[in-house]
Amino acid sequence: MWWSQTGQELVMTTLEAAGRTAIISGFDEDEGTEDEDEEEEEVEEEEVEADGSTQSKVTPKEFIESPTQEAMAGLSRSEWLEFAEGELSAIPDVSEIADRALYLCMRMSSPLNTVHRADTKQKICSLCDDTLKLLASHNPSDSVLCNSVLVNIGLIKSENKKFRVASEDLTGPLTLIQHIVKQDYVSKSSRKVLHSYLTKSEKKLEKYFQVKFQLLQTLFSLQ
């Protein structure tokens, strides 16, 4: 209530004398009702917020088939790790393992082709790191890693004739590679090789001038 305890007692005394104490008891009952109403409103608001933030669950296979920003939001990290580990462990040759790991990452980068939320990029980078750390456990050489990166953005041809690049639009892949080259699992020599190839491939990447320029700047700063 908005009055003090002393003030309330004074009002009670006055009303008792007038035989009107029921008014105060009515105030007290109303106060409890308002508190309960506020609590109910808070619960309802929390339920609405919870419902609004719920994302439809998406399996890794479903995401690879349709790698959208909405699908990324519903992708579980634990399920992705299990999926990626299964994909890589089923391949006997390390160069093919690298190709597959980079394919998964480049496919994952598709939401970055267009306007995207910051949390989407953060999640993509995190899952990519998880995937390439799995690749690192197979001990690929620097040349194998660089080869797979370049194959997956179409700058060199794959020995596998059935291979197709993960994304025809290279905006997302080049954006993700800018993150990849900053990580500890990429050696300094690999960065030099990638910088050299990307510099020589200006015509193939000229439509991606801005993102390619940012990538080259990053690679140069890390040498």
The predicted-structure confidence for 163-187, as pLDDT tens digits, reads as follows 888 888 999 999 999 999 999 999 9
Is a pLDDT exceeding 90 seen at residue 20?
Answer: no
Bridge partner residues of 75 (DSSP): 58
- Within a 10 A sphere around the Cβ of 120, how many other Cβ atoms? 16
Residues 132-160, mean pLDDT to the nearest whole number: 94
Query: What's the longest Cα–Cα distance across the chain?
Result: 101
Of the listed ranges 74-83, 140-149, 182-191, 197-206, the least confidently predicted one is 197-206
Name the average pLDDT for the chain. 82
Of 48 and 79, the one with more pLDDT: 79
Please, are residues 186 and 122 in contact by the beta-carbon 8 Å criterion? Answer: no
pLDDT at 4 exceeding the cut of 80: no
CB 135, CB 84: distance < 8 Å: no
Give the residue-averaged pLDDT of 5-14. 46
Q: Which residues pair with 58 in a beta bridge?
A: 75
Nearest to 60 by CA among 117, 145, 127: 127
- Contact predicate 172/113, CB 8 Å: yes
Residues 6+ apart with CB under 8 A from 180: 105, 128, 132, 149, 186
Model confidence at 135: pLDDT above 90 = yes
The pLDDT of residue 219 is 96
Q: Kindly report the CA angle at 207 between 201 and 210, in degrees rounded to 5? A: 90
User: What is the C-alpha to C-alpha distance for residues 186 and 132, in angstroms, rounded to an integer?
Assistant: 10
**Is 94 in contact with 157 (CB distance < 8 Å)?**
no
- For 111-119, what is the mean pLDDT? 88
Query: In this predicted structure, what is the pLDDT of residue 115?
Result: 77
| 127 compared with 42, residue with greater pLDDT | 127
- Rounded to an integer, what distance in angstroms lies between the CA atom of residue 145 and that of residue 154? 14
Reply yes or no on whether the pLDDT at 77 is more than 50. Answer: yes
Q: What digits encode the pLDDT tens for the residues 25-62?
A: 444 444 455 555 545 444 443 333 333 445 689 999 99
Residue 2: pLDDT over 80:
no
Using 50, 70 and 90 to split pLDDT, how confident is the model at 16?
A: low
Most confidently predicted of 50-54, 156-160, 216-220: 216-220
Tell me if 24 sits within 8 A of 11, measured CB to CB.
yes
Query: Cα 23–37–8 angle (5° rounding)?
Result: 30
H-helix segments, the chain: 5-18, 22-53, 60-65, 69-73, 77-89, 94-108, 118-136, 142-152, 171-180, 188-200, 209-221
pLDDT at position 21: 46
